[in-house]
Chains A and B, each alone.
Chain A
């Protein structure tokens, strides 16, 4: 009995000893390394790639966590062998960072198990985490750029999360901040996290987010405090503090990732670009109207000598900021403003030393055509333009009369007539409406419905033409609301004559509005060269342009047109090659013609069976008559292309049949294999 108790107590002792040592010793670091020092240990990721679970002890010993045992982070790895993924928990020590992170744009998605967003280790590393002050650390300022870009330069991620795009973000590398960091190694320069935050990168809807405009000046002020002091006193700064979102903050003028030094011609605040930068708000009608700002500031500046010279790139000429200041812009009624009448001598004196208070007697932005504004300049302009018109009419009239007299002396009556009417027509055109006259109304949504997109027009092939060159029936302002079509005829008479004989043209003359006229294919104010890839009639775009009508059920139904023309074209080799931008491949117009499109029944049509050898022969010389024996748009119905239909049907069924045979054989063979195996 005594032995029995002794034996039992020894066993209990041993067992408890075993238990305690099991907990304490089973998972000490050495135990972990028994397996994790072996190069053989690996796990298979979801993507199928194998990841080695080898842990580099050297880097672990250099890391900030060198004194933390494995289970300090991998709390779930209590047993040995432990569950497959013990995970790592940073929050037990880094509680604040974890809290920030879980509310951040990254953190929210991470919790939603989005595979794109970074967790702790994506930025900090795992076993090799070293202090961010160490220049080898991935979170060391200069290295952090690369870490952020490893995701944000990925176009797929950018697109998926509706981010601005890799180009926008990568532009940082060439900005003044990026250059200072990457080229010069200045850690004080602004790195991604200095503006965006690190753990607490905010989603867009958060009021503390960087996307919230009001926060931007405060963020910039961390490094540029003296500029912020000036800005917050300025008219823009006060407005932002009052919560007026239209007011510009730092990035509106300087850019975000694209901040360049002011002397760089690419910079938005380079002297040459400043007028454009300021005008993005000060020419914006909604902003001018809302805050009762004076309009036409850009126009009047550009008409001044300062404006002209600045446009030609002379940086010494005054731009907006030379007079108005930049960070400390104040309204002219503010006594501290550089454009307050009392301060003007000093402001102008920066370039024109010695100017007196008299400079304030007069406007700077001179609106020549406005009577109320500046009487003197207005009247002198009116007087001179009358003299100018009178003199040019007088001189031109005298020359005409004199020429008539000279020819009269020489008895050349015909010449007189030609000359008279010739000059009359030229001088008649010279005083017609100009583009600017038309745009006075056609840029203003309040006045007319038909807004002309002037940028489109300026890029079009007709950019050098005047409005009235096409809209000939408009002679004065205002004109009747309904105007005739722009007349293409005087310049493009050959094309129009072709068009008149075409199937489209003949129908159009009858007054049918369903058929295309010039502008339906070529566009209106945005007509581009045919070779321009953006043109509506470029090789690549023609199928789309034709299809706007030829794929419309209304139109094909009404005229009884053949359907599925686009689909059959796109399925053909021509269509595929054209889609991929091969320039020498047939498009709609190659076969059907363009202005002179005729139905295939017409003997003059390029797609009449008798003309097909010639039409196809343009690219396939010597094609011969066999081309006409068969369809071009292969739709493969029984009626239209019996040959293709039969072959296609045959192969479809044959393949189906073959598949069934194969599958049956394989199934039977598999069953047989199991049986054979079972027997052996």
Chain B
């Protein structure tokens, strides 16, 4: 849903993340960090750093409890998120804006060509560019897999009663690798895009303020910018 006029303040920035979305994001990131710290230490249990972290967490038993608490938080959040995108208009329109399109692949191709200096044509992005879509879908699908496999492993006794052991073994392997994949997406891809990228370094503040300046909007989301101008929500002078 495009923002209306009241979202724009005097400094020429407009709201991109509502408070409600920012709270979701903070809950998500804290649960993800805790899950990564408690989960990956188990995957890499032979590593000295991992052993040290397990010690800080209060031993191998406490590690499991913390992991499950964070997992419950993530599950509640995921449920809430799915209800939100299914049943609220804003959530649903944002979700639709995130759906993968053919344009994303051509955008990716264009971006690579531009970055390598092969062409001077920059890709034009709508509300969400392909980088953000990879993050969203990677984490969404990854989390769903993690939640399902996590449940099987959490209630391993009950699981073993109804399914062969090899399924549980496979589940364990999936949980371990999938967790690492989410870690890669979040800590390489996402960290780079919102922190280490020279354009936003040290940090893209949108996750705290919820705002994006019209200049950034024009640079990174040109199609949305144009749409907002044509709808008369922002002036063409803004963003210069």
Question: Given A391-B184, A395-B189, A406-B199, are A308 and B166 also a contact pair (CB < 8 Å)?
Answer: no
Contact of A360 with B165 in the complex, beta carbons under 8 Å: yes
State whether the Cβ of B197 lies closer than 8 Å to any Cβ in chain A.
yes
Which of chain B's residues 1-60 have a Cβ closer than 8 Å to chain A?
42, 45, 54, 59-60
Q: Which of B172, B173, B188, B198 contacts A406 (CB 8 A)?
A: B198
| Residue in chain B with minimal CB distance to A364 | B165
State whether the Cβ of B117 lies closer than 8 Å to any Cβ in chain A.
yes
A-B contact list, 25 entries, CB within 8 Å: A308-B42, A311-B45, A314-B61, A348-B160, A354-B158, A354-B161, A355-B157, A355-B160, A358-B163, A360-B165, A362-B164, A363-B166, A374-B166, A376-B167, A384-B173, A384-B178, A388-B177, A388-B181, A391-B185, A398-B189, A401-B115, A402-B192, A403-B197, A405-B114, A407-B198
> B165 — which chain A residues lie within 8 A by C-beta?
358-364
State whether the Cβ of A404 lies closer than 8 Å to any Cβ in chain B.
yes
State whether the Cβ of A500 lies closer than 8 Å to any Cβ in chain B.
no
Q: Which of A312, A362, A384, A401 contacts B54 (CB 8 A)?
A: A312
Contact of B177 with A385 in the complex, beta carbons under 8 Å: yes
In the complex, A477 Cα to B197 Cα: how many Å? 38
| Residue in chain B with minimal CB distance to A401 | B115
> A402 — which chain B residues lie within 8 A by C-beta?
111, 115, 192, 197
In the complex, A402 Cα to B184 Cα: how many Å? 17
| Residue in chain B with minimal CB distance to A397 | B112
> B117 — which chain A residues lie within 8 A by C-beta?
404, 408
Contact of B184 with A395 in the complex, beta carbons under 8 Å: yes
> A576 — which chain B residues lie within 8 A by C-beta?
none
Q: Which of B60, B164, B198 contacts A309 (CB 8 A)?
A: B60
In the complex, A404 Cα to B118 Cα: how many Å? 12
> B158 — which chain A residues lie within 8 A by C-beta?
354
> A374 — which chain B residues lie within 8 A by C-beta?
166, 169
Interface residue count for B (Cβ, 8 Å)?
A: 41
> B198 — which chain A residues lie within 8 A by C-beta?
403, 406-407, 410
CB within 8 Å of A: which residues of B?
Answer: 42, 45, 54, 59-61, 111-112, 114-117, 156-158, 160-170, 172-174, 177-178, 180-181, 184-185, 188-189, 192, 197-199
> A600 — which chain B residues lie within 8 A by C-beta?
none
Given contacts A312-B45, A377-B166, 5 further A-B contacts (CB under 8 A): A352-B160, A362-B169, A377-B173, A402-B111, A410-B198
> B169 — which chain A residues lie within 8 A by C-beta?
362-363, 366, 374, 376-377
* Interface bits A337-379 vs B (CB < 8 Å: 1, else 0): 0000000000010011111101111111010100000101100
State whether the Cβ of A293 lies closer than 8 Å to any Cβ in chain B.
no
In the complex, A410 Cα to B198 Cα: how many Å? 10
Rounded to whole Å, the gap between the CB of B118 and the closest CB of chain A is 11
In the complex, A395 Cα to B114 Cα: how many Å? 17
CB within 8 Å of B: which residues of A?
Answer: 305, 308-309, 311-314, 348, 351-356, 358-364, 366, 368, 374, 376-377, 380-381, 384-385, 387-388, 391-392, 395-396, 398-399, 401-408, 410
Q: Is the interface of A mostly helix, strand, loop or mixed?
A: helix
Contact of B166 with A362 in the complex, beta carbons under 8 Å: yes
Contact of B45 with A380 in the complex, beta carbons under 8 Å: no
In the complex, A410 Cα to B117 Cα: how many Å? 13
| Residue in chain A with minimal CB distance to B190 | A395
Contact of A401 with B112 in the complex, beta carbons under 8 Å: yes
> A311 — which chain B residues lie within 8 A by C-beta?
45
Q: Which 4 A-B pairs have CB atoms at the shortest separation, nearest pair first? A: A405-B115, A362-B166, A362-B165, A361-B164
Rounded to whole Å, the gap between the CB of B80 and the closest CB of chain A is 28
| Residue in chain B with minimal CB distance to A366 | B169
> B173 — which chain A residues lie within 8 A by C-beta?
368, 377, 380-381, 384
Contact of B166 with A352 in the complex, beta carbons under 8 Å: no
Contact of B60 with A314 in the complex, beta carbons under 8 Å: yes
Rounded to whole Å, the gap between the CB of A499 and the closest CB of chain B is 32
In the complex, A361 Cα to B161 Cα: how many Å? 12
A305, A308, A358: most-surrounded residue (chain B CB, <10 A): A358
Rounded to whole Å, the gap between the CB of A427 and the closest CB of chain B is 12
A377, A387, A405: most-surrounded residue (chain B CB, <10 A): A405
Rounded to whole Å, the gap between the CB of A443 and the closest CB of chain B is 17
Contact of B60 with A308 in the complex, beta carbons under 8 Å: yes
In the complex, A406 Cα to B170 Cα: how many Å? 42
In the complex, A241 Cα to B101 Cα: how many Å? 74
In the complex, A368 Cα to B173 Cα: how many Å? 9
Rounded to whole Å, the gap between the CB of B40 and the closest CB of chain A is 13
In the complex, A55 Cα to B134 Cα: how many Å? 100
Question: Given A355-B160, A361-B166, are A395 and B188 also a contact pair (CB < 8 Å)?
Answer: yes
| Residue in chain B with minimal CB distance to A316 | B61
Question: Given A308-B45, A311-B45, A352-B160, are A377 and B114 also a contact pair (CB < 8 Å)?
Answer: no
Contact of B160 with A359 in the complex, beta carbons under 8 Å: yes
> A358 — which chain B residues lie within 8 A by C-beta?
160-165
| Residue in chain B with minimal CB distance to A308 | B45
In the complex, A334 Cα to B61 Cα: how many Å? 35
> A388 — which chain B residues lie within 8 A by C-beta?
177, 180-181, 184
> B172 — which chain A residues lie within 8 A by C-beta?
305
| Residue in chain B with minimal CB distance to A381 | B173
Question: Given A312-B60, A376-B170, A401-B115, are A384 and B177 also a contact pair (CB < 8 Å)?
Answer: yes
In the complex, A361 Cα to B159 Cα: how many Å? 13
Contact of B157 with A353 in the complex, beta carbons under 8 Å: yes
In the complex, A348 Cα to B157 Cα: how many Å? 9
Rounded to whole Å, the gap between the CB of B202 and the closest CB of chain A is 15
| Residue in chain B with minimal CB distance to A355 | B160
In the complex, A309 Cα to B42 Cα: how many Å? 9
Q: Which of B115, B177, B197 contacts A404 (CB 8 A)?
A: B115
Contact of B116 with A380 in the complex, beta carbons under 8 Å: no
In the complex, A168 Cα to B188 Cα: how many Å? 55
